[in-house]
Amino acid sequence: MPHPERTLSTPSAAIHPPPRDMKRLLSALWVFAMFNYLYADVMGLMDSTLLAQFLRGQVGSLQITGEFLFGAAVLMEIPIAMTLLSRVLPHRANRWANIVAGIIKTAAVAGTLWIGHPTGYYLFFALIEIACTTLIVVLAWRWEPPSLA
């Protein structure tokens, strides 16, 4: 018989998983977001128009410089770090790290939609990424501290 705390039989239970499962859920959502970020970038490299621009170092009005790439690396380190931090940080720090990281990543992806004209495949991935990081923020916001019982 399944353990009653592990049974997610109602829609409400899916939104409010047992506290001990929240760390795993948040970590898994960051992995899911990262795969979407990665594959959107891979698809961009398969797009001959974008690839030619990348090779020239200029994508639309965006100059691809060392500083730009460093900034992109910092932005991508956020979800990479959150896969680990979501599992190891104590509740309060974990909750706030997920809220702040989720807001930063949601804003960053949403902001890219205003640069140039996003392709259909990029828009598809961006909407999934925004939904995922928004869900992370909502779950972390609602995450109550573990009971002392």
Q: Output the pLDDT for position 70.
A: 97
Q: Give pLDDT, residue 107.
A: 98
The mean pLDDT of the chain is 89
The backbone torsions φ and ψ at residue 16, rounded to the nearest 5 degrees and listed phi first, read -125, 75
φ, ψ at 43 (rounded to 5°)? -60, -35
Q: By residue range, what is the domain housing residue 135?
A: 20-142
The pLDDT tens digits for 88-107 are 999 999 999 999 999 999 99
**Is the pLDDT higher at 2 or at 119?**
119
pLDDT value for 19: 58
State how far the Cα of 102 lies from the Cα of 42, in Å rounded to an integer: 22
> Is 14 part of any domain?
no
pLDDT at 22 over 60: yes
Task: For residue 42, tell me if it sits in a domain.
Answer: yes
Q: Is the pLDDT of residue 1 over 50?
A: no
State how many domains the chain has. 1
Is residue 78 domain-resident? Answer: yes
For residues 99 and 141, the answer to whether their CB atoms sit within 8 Å is yes
Burial 25-55 (b: 16+ CB within 10 A, else e): bbbebbebbbebbeebeeebeeeeebeebee
- Domain-located, residue 63: yes
Q: Give pLDDT tens digits for 25-70.
A: 999 999 999 999 999 999 999 999 989 998 999 988 889 999 999 9
* Residue 148, domain member (yes or no): no
**Average pLDDT for residues 10-27, to the nearest whole number?**
72
Lowest mean pLDDT among 17-21, 49-53, 88-92, 143-147: 17-21
So what's the pLDDT on residue 10?
54
